[in-house]
Amino acid sequence: MSEIKVTVVPVAKLDVDELESALGRVAKVVRRPVELRGAIELPRGTEDTTRAQHRAGTLLKALRKGLPRLKVVGHVGGEGRPVPEPEPDATIFVTDVDLYTAKTDGAMTVFQRGSKSGIISIRRMREAFYRRKADPNRQRARLAKEILRVVGTLGGLPVCSDPTCVQSETKALADIDRKDERWCATCWKRLSSGAFRL
Ligand SMILES: [Zn+2]
């Protein structure tokens, strides 16, 4: 079975306990520790100040440039001992700033297969965004599920038709909440056997 190497980078100010808690959940599912890098500063010039949002693709590209400078600060959860990983299967930036794309007014998760990287904004995963009472556990579950979806997508998995699988489509927050925090048996088999590895 091939192992899934996941690297996560917090962008600017982020609650580290909250992030690590979500990564612990991810590590359980991928059955391997998740590598955590030091925080990266928000680059200048990627914000559209009129809408107070960042263009996701531009931001992701700018962040990737800074990646080689970022030290590994730890490994979260999982089984077995971590080994040095020069080539992660998925590098995921997690940010609190709001994102948008050419196709959407607001985006939670954007990925680029070619660079095996993605960016996830927790802004719209927070109940506070919808003026509802905070629900930290639910927010961590949402982040963990979206990280798993990015890992699966970058690993080559197609969108899954099982609505409880993390690899099923995420159009809205309710789609994430409906999912289990795992891949369905078919997706896991494909991913862990490397059948769809790019
Ligand atoms: Zn599936």
Residue 186's pLDDT is what? 96
Distance between Cα 156 and ligand 1 center (Å): 12
Q: Give all strands of the β-sheet with 99-100 in edge-to-edge order.
A: 47-48, 53-55, 99-100
Contact by Cβ (8 Å): 76, 102: no
Residue 1 clears pLDDT 50, i.e. is over it:
no
Amino acid of residue 192: S
Q: How large is the average pLDDT for residues 15-37?
A: 93
Q: Which has more confidence, 82 or 23?
A: 23
Q: What are phi and psi of 161, to 5 degrees?
A: -85, -10
Chain centroid offset of residue 66 CA: 18
Distance between Cα 165 and ligand 1 center (Å): 5
Distance between Cα 152 and ligand 1 center (Å): 9
Report the mean per-residue pLDDT for the chain: 91
Q: Helix (H, G, I), strand (E, B), or coil: what is residue 161?
A: coil
Give the pLDDT confidence of 71-113 residue by residue, as tens digits: 998 899 866 565 565 678 899 999 999 999 988 889 999 999 9
Distance between Cα 59 and ligand 1 center (Å): 29
Distance between Cα 22 and ligand 1 center (Å): 20
Distance between Cα 118 and ligand 1 center (Å): 20
Chain centroid offset of residue 2 CA: 20
Burial class (CB in 10 A: 0-12, 13-18, 19+), 152: buried
Q: How large is the average pLDDT for residues 147-162?
A: 95
Distance between Cα 9 and ligand 1 center (Å): 26
Distance between Cα 158 and ligand 1 center (Å): 9
Q: Helix (H, G, I), strand (E, B), or coil: what is residue 143?
A: helix
Distance between Cα 188 and ligand 1 center (Å): 7
Contact by Cβ (8 Å): 120, 143: yes
